[in-house]
Amino acid sequence: MDVSRLLAILGFIIIGVASRLLPHPPSFSSINAIALFSAFYLGNRWLSSVTILLVVFLSDVVLGFHSTVPFVYLSFGLIILIGYRIKSRMFLQRVPLACFTASFLFFLITNFGVWMTSSLYPKTVDGLGLCYLAAIPFLANQVLGDFAYGSLLFGYVHLWKNCVHAKRGHLKSS
């Protein structure tokens, strides 16, 4: 593994853990964006999965584990697959849609987990509906967080590549 890839993974872990542990609005974290971006940037589903699992596990050690952990981890695995599809298809044009899809997928899976594993809502279709309804404010923060962190991660690489290409072009013309 090259140094830049290792540094990227360490950076993802630091940013991800910090975004969960430092004070922030509920559900406004970098994890979905890192899951998307790590699959895009690293291009390796296994490496991306291990990276995200480390981020979530390390922060869960501090925050505590809960009954919906399997649903949370499953959602990140599916989000990595979305990020991998961005890489294999047309990438930057699809990032906003991928960010929204990641937010919505996380919302659907984790709140289904809340409904399944807690006694907060009756185990009926109405109870599931109430669970999703109560979680809508968290979805709004999730979407904002995913767009903010996704824009930073994908935008940084886009700017970096353009800057490097511009410098190379400048050096060739000199």
Spatial distance between the Cα atoms of 74 and 26, rounded to a whole number of angstroms: 20
This prediction has a pTM of 0.86
The answer to whether 71 touches 109, Cβ cutoff 8 Å, is yes
Q: Which CATH class is domain 3-173?
A: mainly alpha
CB 97 within 8 A of CB 52: no
For residue range 87-106, list pLDDT tens digits in order: 766 566 788 999 999 999 99
Q: Give tens-digit pLDDT for 29-82.
A: 999 999 999 988 888 889 999 999 999 999 999 999 999 999 999 999 999 999
The domain spans of the chain are: 3-173
